[in-house]
């Protein structure tokens, strides 16, 4: 419960306080700021001023869920009636004029817009301006701890090993003239994850030929798909050391079942790789220049694909946040100027994927995914394995 990074950023952005408002776990940020297994049935509000002691408002029936608040330097207030709630808001906001909340103007960033319009109206009625907490979320709950950095490196080694095991399985089966199916290769990945003590919520994706043109394809034993000589195979896998404080390693590689990659497949692979590298180079240049935003990293990759003739083959943004919490897709900056315009800054201590893709419907798709951590001293560094040549299986 270290609020210092958020408070420092509030001073920089001239924000007086951050109000995290929740109703029955409607706002995941509260659970990240105040971790622990809690069950609340009424409204809860955490006010973090740019200077001074944070205050927590909780209903009397739920107060026991936060018995640890005072121990962490948070003043805990109770309410029973809506009149008391409104009085607390007016008192707590006091002389504040700019309040950050989980709000996104125009719903430009849906991942941030977690507070309902009525609550925003209630806070504005107290005479304050409501601004987005997007970068405060990054600074406080999207950053990797030193332990998380180390455990992510461990997960990345094991995920890379599982990737190698899956490709080896396919190669050995094909060379032996034995049948091999998409879901069987996926089983190999899961077996390796389990043996290595990793956790994963779903997946992996093993997709052959036209199936690889669907970014969210799922292999299934109910619809077995064989892998033959001459096939294109996409493998997307993700896992982490157990624990919500840890970070997923999330990578995508591609392979060809043969001795020589066809010219068209190689051309698409090289274009996607060039897009990946363009985004990474833009991140490094932005760090050295003093700042870069998520939409700019997306543009760097997407414009590269467009220039190489793949404008019609783009189906998704360039990358997503990697941060602590239950989800593979984290709460920090995404690399996106396609689905949304992500104006959040690339902050030190945060991480993300770079995963441009080109998808030729009905034929094949290619995605090349790496993980990046923004080291406070060195800037953006690649933390996962990185594919520079198509794997032959």
Q: Give the domains, in start order, of the chain with CATH numbers.
A: 4-142 (3.40.350.10), 146-392 (3.90.230.10)
On the question of pLDDT at 72 being above 90, the answer is no
Contacts for 108 with CB less than 8 Å, ≥ 6 apart: 340, 341, 343
The Cα 37–Cα 96 span in angstroms is: 32
**CA angle, 291 as apex, 146 and 100 as ends, to 5°?**
75
Mean residue pLDDT across the chain = 96
Quickly list H helices, the chain: 4-13, 28-33, 82-93, 117-124, 134-137, 146-175, 182-195, 263-289, 294-307
The Cα 208–Cα 213 span in angstroms is: 9
Q: Lowest mean pLDDT of 67-81, 203-217, 332-346, name the range.
A: 67-81
Angstrom CA distances, 314 to 263, 365, 393, stand at 20, 10, 27
Tokens of 365: 């798709």
Secondary structure letter of residue 138 according to DSSP: I
Contacts for 3 with CB less than 8 Å, ≥ 6 apart: 33, 48, 54, 140
- pLDDT at position 227, please? 98
Sign of CA dihedral 107, 298, 253, 383: negative
- pLDDT at position 36, please? 81
- pLDDT at position 260, please? 97
> Which residues sit opposite 359 in a β-bridge?
365
- pLDDT at position 45, please? 97
């Amino acid at each position: 419960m270290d609020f210092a990074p958020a408070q420092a950023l509030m001073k920089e952005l001239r924000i007086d306080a951050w109000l995290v408002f929740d109703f029955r776990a409607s706002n995941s940020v509260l659970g990240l700021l105040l971790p622990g297994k809690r069950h609340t049935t009424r409204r809860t509000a955490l006010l973090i001023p740019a200077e001074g002691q944070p205050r927590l408002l909780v209903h009397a029936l739920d107060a026991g869920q936060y018995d640890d608040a005072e121990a962490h330097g948070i003043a805990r207030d109770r309410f029973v009636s809506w009149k008391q709630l409104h009085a607390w808001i007016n008192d707590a906001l006091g002389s504040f004029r700019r309040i950050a909340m989980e709000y996104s103007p125009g719903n430009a960033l849906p991942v941030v817009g977690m507070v309902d319009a009525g609550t925003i109206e209630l806070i504005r009625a107290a005479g304050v301006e409501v601004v987005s907490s997007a970068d405060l979320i990054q600074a406080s709950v999207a950053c990797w701890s030193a332990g998380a950095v180390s455990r992510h490196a461990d997960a990345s080694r094991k995920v890379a090993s599982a990737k190698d095991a899956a490709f080896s399985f396919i190669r050995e089966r094909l060379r032996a003239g034995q049948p091999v199916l998409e879901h069987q290769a996926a089983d190999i990945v899961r077996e390796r994850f389990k043996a290595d003590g990793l956790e994963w919520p779903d997946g992996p994706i093993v997709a052959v030929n036209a199936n690889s043109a669907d970014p969210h394809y799922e292999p299934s034993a109910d619809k077995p798909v064989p892998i033959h000589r001459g096939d294109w195979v996409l493998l997307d896998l993700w896992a982490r050391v157990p624990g919500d404080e840890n970070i997923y390693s999330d990578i995508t590689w591609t392979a060809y079942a043969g001795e020589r990659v066809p010219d068209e497949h190689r051309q698409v692979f090289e274009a996607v790789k060039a897009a990946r590298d363009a985004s990474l180079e833009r991140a490094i240049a932005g760090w050295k220049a003093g700042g870069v935003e998520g939409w700019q990293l997306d543009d760097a990759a997407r414009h590269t694909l467009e220039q190489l003739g793949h404008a019609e083959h783009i189906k998704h943004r360039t990358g997503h946040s990697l941060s602590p919490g239950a989800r593979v897709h984290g709460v920090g900056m995404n690399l996106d100027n396609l689905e949304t315009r992500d104006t959040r800054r690339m902050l030190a201590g945060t991480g993300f994927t770079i995963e441009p893709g080109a998808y030729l419907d009905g034929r094949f798709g290619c995605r090349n995914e790496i993980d990046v951590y923004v080291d406070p001293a060195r800037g953006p560094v690649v933390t996962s394995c990185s594919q520079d040549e198509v794997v032959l299986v």
